[in-house]
Amino acid sequence: MNKNFLKKKITIYSPQNKILNYCFLADYLFKSDEIEFLSEKTILKNNSCEIFVDVNNLKNFLNTKFNNLNKTIFIVLWNNSFDYFKHNLTIGLLKNKFNQVKLIYLDREKFNSKFNSLSLSDFSISKKRTLKKIKGINFIKYIKYFFPTLSSLYNFFKHPRTSMFFLKTKLVFVGTGDLEDVISAFKVLQLSHNKYTRNLISLSLKRLTNLNSINTNNLFELFNNHNFLKMESHERTYFLRLIFRIILIDHLSNFKYFFHQNKKKPFIDLLNSNIYKNVYQLDLGVLCSNTPNNHRTLQINRFYKNFNIKIEILKNNTIYNNSKLLKRINIIQNYLIELKKFNEFNCDGDYFIQKMAKLKNNYLK
């Protein structure tokens, strides 16, 4: 599928919580002028022959009684192969019902050849915004996307005590990274059909829940376990990213000028804010993919273009066989060992940022 397949106006059938993700995608990667979002009430009234259908809406879309089945369905696999294996039956039924089904996945590595597919990694991020019009969204989301300063100020005054913390230099990470988050993510992998994945996750959970603090060596040993290389490839790299994050975030949480936005803290939407001039975002990408073109990075690109530290533990342009993966894990371990030696927890904010950037450049190029 050629990446110039898209029209300037695209139509999307998505749940509310994914709307901004699609806006960033359409604006910075697809270079669209206009988006129209459909709901269950408006979908039958729409005559578009090309529709993006979110993975969470696939069954509803399949069961909708359209008069015209001459439609091309685009499906963005936000969780890459995890989404495909979870929804492959429904995707197959859609392929039988409609004119065409096209998958848009994240990595360069194609994991299924039965479908016309395209990788987000094949796009380049636009330097200028193209999106001018969004239909079918509520006023709050419209303001949030087109007038981020207003929504940023609202969030600032909603949680003023927390917000004041970000007026001085800070390194911020928004996403899965603490012990509670990682344990929840591991429990998802416990549902795998692969017995080796289930075995390693059971061992990992025992090591995490029996410890009062994160023991880096105990977690490193998991990569030497015989079950690790027998996991499915997408589960193996997901597991690696989780272990990396829990060691990294656990250590960084000791620093005075680091902040981890998790579920326990007041939510002030730091990723979608343009008012904090001293905040640097720690960009770890997404757990399920190596691509630099994920929705989190697109957000950071818009609001923190020159104020971020991007750490890619796996390279987007590399397909990792067992040998390459183990070599890369050794590099990752060396980075984390050196990071743990950096324990000036009360150091100046600017020095902290410089040190983090230097460590990344020295090890994870």
pLDDT in tens, the chain (365 residues): 555 556 789 999 999 999 999 999 999 999 999 999 999 999 998 888 999 999 999 999 999 999 889 999 999 999 998 999 899 999 999 999 998 999 999 886 666 657 788 889 889 998 889 999 999 999 999 999 999 999 999 999 998 988 998 999 999 999 999 888 888 899 889 989 999 999 999 999 888 876 566 788 889 999 999 999 999 989 999 999 999 999 999 999 999 999 999 887 878 889 999 999 999 999 999 999 888 899 999 999 999 999 999 999 998 878 888 999 999 999 999 999 999 999 999 999 999 999 999 999 999 97
Written as one letter, the residue type at 212 is N
Helix (H, G, I), strand (E, B) or coil at 276: coil
Tell me how far CA of residue 141 lies from CA of 17, 24, 163, 185, 199, in angstroms: 10, 12, 21, 28, 43
DSSP state of 280: E
* pLDDT for the residue numbered 6: 65
- Percentage above 70 pLDDT, the chain: 96
331: which residues sit within 8 A by CB, 6+ positions away?
363, 364
CA–CA dist 214, 236 (Å, integer): 20
CA–CA dist 26, 131 (Å, integer): 7
* pLDDT for the residue numbered 210: 63
Tell me which residue of 304, 311, 258, 259 sits closest to 284, measured CA to CA.
311
Tell me which residue of 280, 250, 131, 110 sits closest to 181, measured CA to CA.
250
Instruction: Tell whether the torsion through CA atoms of 170, 176, 179 and 180 is positive or negative.
Output: positive
CA–CA dist 201, 239 (Å, integer): 9
* pLDDT for the residue numbered 170: 95
- Which residue matches tokens 């259908």? 53
Contact 146, 19 (CB under 8 A): no
Tokens of 254: 């000791």
Written as one letter, the residue type at 161 is R
**Alpha-helix residue ranges (DSSP H) falling in 42-120:** 58-63, 81-97
Tokens of 268: 């002030």
Tell me how far CA of residue 124 lies from CA of 25, 40, 172, 188, 289, in angstroms: 11, 33, 25, 32, 17
Contact 292, 121 (CB under 8 A): yes
* pLDDT for the residue numbered 60: 95
* pLDDT for the residue numbered 333: 96
pTM over 0.85: yes
